[in-house]
Amino acid sequence: MKLVILDRDGVINEESRDFIRSPDDLHPIEGSLEAIARFTRAGVHVAVATNQSGLARGYFDIDTLNRIHAFLSSRAAAVGGRIDVIAFCPHGPDAGCACRKPEPGLLRSLADRFSVHLQSVPFVGDSLRDLYAAERAGARPVLVRTGNGNEVARALPPAFSSVPIYPDLLAASEALLSP
C-alpha cells in the first residue's frame, strides 16, 4: 500500500454539527494521530479528503481553513505522523460539483497526484457518502465506528455488506498495515 485516504471529521477529529470553524474546534479522536504516525512509519502516504461546505456557507474563509489544516498537520507531526496532502471540496451541498463526496472527484485527484490506481487504496470514512465516494472512484471503502460510523454500520446498505468496519482509525491502521 502506497497511499491511504482518510476523511477528516468523524475519522481523525471529532464530528461537529456546528462545523470546525477554527483550530480551537479541532479535537482529534483518541488514537487517530497515532494511526497517522503508524502509516507514516510504514512508508504509506496519508491524504485527507474532506467536504468543507462551511466555506460556501461563509462560516469560515480559506485562510482559516488553512490554519485548521496546518494545526491538524502539526498535531500529527508531534507524534511522528505526516499528512501529505489535504484535499477539500469548498462547495455547498447543492452545487452539483464533481468533488463533493459522494462524488469521486477528490479521490481521483489524489490518485493522480500520487500516481496510483485507486483499487489498491483504502479510503477510511465514517459516512455513507465516504463509502459511495470510494466505490465510485474504484477505491477500497473502509468504515470506522467513530463520528457517524456507528449509525451507518447499523443501517449499512447490502451493497456495502463486505466493507470492513473498525472501531476507530487506530484499529483500521493496525488491520490495514498487517501482512
Give the catalytic positions in this structure.
Answer: 7, 9
How many Å apart are CA 25 and CA 18, to the nearest integer? 9
Enumerate the H helices of the chain as residue ranges.
Answer: 32-41, 54-57, 62-78, 105-114, 128-137, 149-154, 169-177
Residues in contact with 14: Cβ distance below 8 Å, sequence separation at least 6, in sequence order: 27, 28, 29, 147
User: In the numeric block, which cell numbers belong to residue 135?
Assistant: 466505490
**Which residue type sits at 71?**
F
Closest CA to 44 of 84, 11, 10: 84
How many Å apart are CA 17 and CA 77, to the nearest integer? 27
How many Å apart are CA 90 and CA 167, to the nearest integer? 29
Q: Which residue's C-alpha cell is 500520487?
A: 114
